[in-house]
Structure 1
Amino acid sequence: MTIIQILLLIMVGLAAGLLGGTLGVGGGIVVIPALIFLFGLSQHTAQGTTLAFMLPPVTFLATWTYWKNGNVNWRYALILSVTFLVGAYLGSIWAAHIPDKILRKAFGVLLLFIALKIIFSK
């Protein structure tokens, strides 16, 4: 790994953290495209790397801040956490069998759909 790559990773991590803490986004919207376009990772590797860095210790401080301000619904979080665990496991098994090109296009379509929904919703 070069010093440039390390600096780029630091910038991407800070950007994802700032956006994650501010808007609740970062991993999928910032990091996956950055890992693909800046570092040349495959869609599969970018997704796996993103899931790996978002393990619970990474989100602890942001969650703590939101909780202190009364902005965490622990019941919802628990249900989402358990079902996310199951869904992520099943999804990773499924994704492993999808060709990288198709997976990347599906990811792009999902981002586009979400963006259009946000832009044009009331």
Structure 2
Amino acid sequence: MNISVFISLILIGLLAGFFSGTLGIGGSVVMIPLMLIWLNFSQHQAQGTSLAVLAVPVTLLAAYNYYQEGHVNWKYAAIIAVTFIVGGYLGSKLAISINQVLLKKIFGGILLLVALKMIFGK
């Protein structure tokens, strides 16, 4: 690992953490595109690495800040977390069997649809 890669990793972590804390985004929306652009990762490598980062409670302190202000529904979060595990397992099995070019297009299309809904929705 050279210094350029090391600095890129630090910036990706800081940006993903910052946007996670401020907007609730980080893994998909920030880390994956930056790993594709700055580190020349394949779509599979970026997705796998993003999931590995999130495997530990990296957002614990940010969630705690929201909890202190009364903005966390722990019951809902627990249900989503448990089902996220199942969905993540099934989704990863599918994703690793999809061609990288198609996977990248699916990923970009979903980001675009979500962005349009957020911008033009009520």
| Same fold, TM-score > 0.5, yes or no | yes
Residue equivalent to 2:121: 121
Matches within 5 A, 1:96-111: 96-111=96-111
In the alignment, structure 1 segments of 5+ residues that lack a partner are: none
Root mean square deviation, CA, Å: 0.8
Q: Which residue pairs with 2:5 in the alignment?
A: 5
Structure 2 Cα separation of the partners of residues 120 and 57 of structure 1:
33
Normalised TM-score (structure 2): 0.97
Listed as ranges, the gaps of 5+ residues in structure 2 are none
User: Residues of 2 paired with 1:10 and 1:56: CA distance?
Assistant: 17
Partners of 1:112 and 1:84 in 2: CA distance: 22
What is the number of residues matched between the two proteins? 122
* Conserved? CA contact 2:8–2:39, under 8 Å: no
Displacement of 1:55 in angstroms is 2.1
TM-score, normalisation: structure 1? 0.97
State the distance in 2 between where 1:107 and 1:121 align.
21
Matches within 5 A, 1:8-23: 8-23=8-23
